[in-house]
Amino acid sequence: MSIETAERQDTAPAAPEQPMLEVKDLVVRYGRGRKAAAAPAAVDGVSFSIRPGETVGLVGESGSGKSTIGKAILGLQTSAGGIIRFQGKDITHAGAAERRALGGELRAVFQDPNSSLNPRQSIGASLAEPLRLRGVTAAVARQKAEAMLERVGLPREAVDRYPSQFSGGQRQRIAVARALICEPKLVVCDEAVSALDLSTQAQVLNLLADLRDEHGLSYLFIAHDISVVQFLAQRVVVLYRGQVMESGPAAAVTESPVHPFTQALVAASPVPRAAEQAERRMLRESLGVRTAAAVTASQAGCPFSQRCPLATELCTAERPALRRVGAADVACHYA
């Protein structure tokens, strides 16, 4: 390359990077008919995107719609509205054949590794399956399975063993190996470490981080515990009753949350030291946020208004739009 071309390339404006995943105004409803239409949507107008190599954390209490978003992206749940684009391609209503074609590029790790590991199938056969579906020979699939097991910290001989011969943490490593064996671009991790004890959790999180950096992977990392999400994610999306309450850079959202719900979520996340735990408890109480048990069904306005200590008439009448506050986007009239 001549010096002139090199200079020209240096000064040329960078092409805008295409997101790995784009979710826009996603709506998901369960059930059919009039009853479903009357019930609040499980996911109600959610938008976010994930850049190549980026991890976005999706956090919220149980029942807030996190898994439903993951399922819609993976094609396991139909969407009632909105658009899902993967590498620029609209996959919102992709049919089975189109999904199969994507299969290797878009993979998942769930909380319960038993959902992706058949107890009657050897580990080698489980790992080879997605490769065999793509026409890889049995011998090559076995080699790849052995190499992948080694990469996730298990012995090569594990190929001939069965899921019941491994601990929960090891089974989760195997599930990670199975998700990554087809060299995916995006992995949806839904509560992938939530069932593990703290030290195993840390090991699997480190493994996920190493694999991401080695392969330039993108993750949608779903968890109810914001401290787990904080470890991996560059950006965090906070969900409450199917709606985004706050989203932005992980440091901003987790260290100086703006939305009253995010503040409560951070105060509720467990910390290892007893003194810190007591501080968190005091903070939680001082926030005055009511528990989820106090909430009744469908309502207009801010979805958090029944629990929010700052709620006014405006909050119960009008749903707040997301707007920029500091580094984050926040849906609160008084942020």
Ligand X SMILES: Nc1ncnc2c1ncn2[C@@H]1O[C@H](COP(=O)(O)OP(=O)(O)O)[C@@H](O)[C@H]1O
Which of 57, 60, 75, 248 is the binder for ligand X (CB under 6 A)? Answer: 60
- Is position 242 an interface residue for ligand SF4 (rule: CB under 6 A)? no
Sheet holding 89-90, edge to edge: 43-50, 21-28, 81-86, 89-90
Q: Which of 26, 59, 67, 335 binds ligand X (CB under 6 A)?
A: 67
Cα dihedral 195/197/199/201 (nearest 10): 10
Closer to Mg ion at the Cβ: 149 or 229? 229
Provide the minimum distance between the beta carbon of 305 and ligand SF4 in the complex, in angstroms, as a whole number: 4
Name the nearest CA neighbour of 261 among 219, 189, 315. Answer: 315
67 binds Mg ion (CB under 5 A): yes
Integer Cα distance of 132 and 240 in angstroms: 40
Segment interacting with ligand X (CB under 6 A) among 47-55, 61-69, 247-255, 317-325: 61-69
Stretch that binds ligand X, among 64-72, 229-237, 257-265, 301-309 (CB under 6 A): 64-72
When asked if residue 42 is in the footprint of ligand X (CB under 6 A), the reply is: yes
Instruction: Check residue 66 for interaction with ligand X (CB under 6 A).
Output: yes
Q: Based on the shown chain and the rule CB under 6 A, indicate whether residue 30 belongs to the binding site for ligand X.
A: yes
φ, ψ of residue 329 to 5 degrees: the values are -100, 130
Using a 10 angstrom Cβ sphere, with 0-12 exposed, 13-18 middle and 19 or more buried, the burial of residue 143 is middle
- Tell me if 45 contacts ligand X by CB under 6 A: no
Smallest separation (angstroms) from Mg ion to the CB of 109: 13
For the residues of 257-300, what is the DSSP string, one character each? --SHHHHHHHHHS--SSHHHHHHHHHHHHHHTPPPGGG--S--S
CB 127 within 8 A of CB 145: yes
Q: Closest distance between ligand SF4 and the C-beta of residue 81, in Å?
A: 23
Residues that bind ligand SF4 (CB under 6 A): 260, 302, 304-305, 308, 310-311, 315, 320, 332-334
